[in-house]
Structure 1
Amino acid sequence: MTDLRVLVVSQDPLARAGLAALLDQQPGCNVVGRVADDEVQSPALEVYQPDVLIWDLGWSTVSGLERMGEIPEDAPPVLALVAGQTQADEARTAGARGVLLRDTDAGVMLPALSAVARGLVVLDPSLAARATTPRSSDPVPDLTPRERQALSLLAEGLPNKTIASRMGISEHTVKFHVNSILGKLGAQSRTEAVTRATRLGLILL
C-alpha cells in the first residue's frame, strides 16, 4: 500500500518541524515537505505532489485563514489544526475538509488525514459534539450498535466483503445494514452517509 503523501503547512517554522517529526513516526505516512502559509500555491503543490495538506493555524487565525481561502480549487484537501471552536468554524468556511484540535495525538492525525484524502469530512469529536448540539432541526438518527459498527467500517472505505468479514456476518446482511444507514441518514451514497454521520458526531476519528 502506498504511503500517504502529506504536506505540512504552518507559518511557524518550529511548528512545521515538530508536526513533521510527529507524522514521520507514523507508519504509512510520508511527509513530502514543509511550507509556510504564503507558500501554498500551485508551484509548491506541483513540486511536492501531496495527497493531503495538514495546516496548523496556530493561535493567530488571520493570515492562515486568508491563505487557506486562496489556495487553488484543484488543490489537495486540507486538514486544519485549530485552537478551538471559533477557529474551527472559520477554517471550515475557508475550505478545510477536516478539523482537529491542535493537541490531537499523532496517532489520530493519520487516520484523519487518510479520511480527508478520500474525500470524507472529519471533525474532532469535541468540536462535532458542540457543532451539532444546538441544531434541533438536524436530529441525530437512532442507529443500532451493528449499524454504528458498519458505519465506522464504511468510513474506512472498506468494501462490503471486508466489512462482512470484520463483523462476522454475510455480505447480504451488510447490504441490509448499509441500506438502513443510508435511509436513516437521508443519504444517497456511502460517501454522503459517512460525511453526514461525521458532521453529526456519529463517527469519531
Structure 2
Amino acid sequence: MKLLLVDDHALFRAGLKSVLPRLDGSLTLAEAGSCEEGLQRLREAPDADLVLLDLGLGDGKDRLHCLRRFRQADPTLPIVIVSAHESRDTIAAAVNAGASGYIPKSSDSALLIEALRLVLAGGIYLPPALIAGSAPSAQRPPTGLTPRQQEVLALLAEGLPNKAIARRLGMAEGTVRIHVTAIIKHLHASNRTEALAKAIRLGYVATLEED
C-alpha cells in the first residue's frame, strides 16, 4: 500500500509516521511539507492508494485550494483531510470539493486507522460529532426523501459503502444503488460525495440521525 502524507508541520508528520504502519504492514509512505511538494510527490508516484492532506495548504485565502489541485490532478484518488478545523461548514465544503473523508487532528490514533480503512474500502468518513449534532426538531428542514432513502442517506453519512449498507438494511446491493441514485438525483448532485456534502449543508444528516 502506498500513502502520501502532506502537512506543513514536521512534528505532526513524524507522529503520523509512527502510527500509519498499523494500517498495513507493507505500507510505503511518502511525505511532503507543502502543496507544491505534495503534487510533485504524486507525479512521481501516481499509483498512490490514498492521500492524507492538511487543510489550508497553498493559497492562504482559500483553505480548499490544495485539495482542489489534488482532486484535479487525480479525480479518483481517495483524499482524506486531517485538520484542526472542525466546523460543519468547513467539513461540508471539503467533502463537496472532493474529500473522501475528514479526520479532526484531535482524533486518537485508533480512530484515524479505522477511518482510513473505511475510506480505502470505498466509504466516506465523517466525524461522529458532525453526524450526532442536530438542531431542535422544529428547526429541521424536511428532506423530501422516502423513509428508505432517509435510512440509506444516514448510513452514507456514516461512511458505509453500498455493500455494507445492504447488509445493515437487509436488502440487495442493487437496491441500495437504486436508492443512492435517487438521493443523488433528488439533491441535484453529480455523485454520492457531492450529495452527502449537500445533505450536511442542508442539515439532513443531523435530521436523519435522530429521526
Alignment equivalent of 1:55, drawn from 39, 46, 53: 53
Structure 2 counterparts to residues 62-73 of structure 1, below 5 A: 62=60, 65=63, 66-71=65-70, 73=72
Deviations 1:92-117 (A, max 9, x none): 18935122211223333345335545
What is the deviation of 1:170? Answer: 7.0
Structure-1 separation of matches of 2:127 and 2:21? 21
Structure 2 counterparts to residues 1-205 of structure 1, below 5 A: 3=1, 5-27=2-24, 30-37=27-34, 38-41=36-39, 43-48=40-45, 49-57=47-55, 62=60, 65=63, 66-71=65-70, 73-75=72-74, 76-86=77-87, 89=90, 92=94, 95=97, 97=99, 98-116=101-119, 121-129=124-132, 133=135, 136-137=140-141, 139=143, 143=147, 147=151, 151=155, 155-158=160-163, 163=166, 166=167, 171=172, 179=178, 186=186, 192=192, 195-196=195-196, 199=200, 200-201=204-205
The TM-score with structure 1 as length reference comes to: 0.60
Identity %: 18
Asked whether the equivalents of residues 55 and 83 of structure 2 are also in contact (C-alpha less than 8 Å), the reply is yes
Gaps of 5+ in 1: none
What is the deviation of 1:129? Answer: 4.8
Deviations 1:20-63 (A, max 9, x none): 2211122477242111124112x3103233122112349xx949
Asked whether the equivalents of residues 6 and 51 of structure 2 are also in contact (C-alpha less than 8 Å), the reply is yes
Asked whether the equivalents of residues 79 and 99 of structure 1 are also in contact (C-alpha less than 8 Å), the reply is yes
Q: Which amino acid aligns with 1:83?
A: A
Change (3 A) 1:182 1:29: farther
What is the deviation of 1:16? Answer: 0.6
Asked whether the equivalents of residues 13 and 36 of structure 1 are also in contact (C-alpha less than 8 Å), the reply is yes
Aligned length: 190
The TM-score with structure 2 as length reference comes to: 0.59
Deviations 1:66-95 (A, max 9, x none): 544444602334211222334961761893
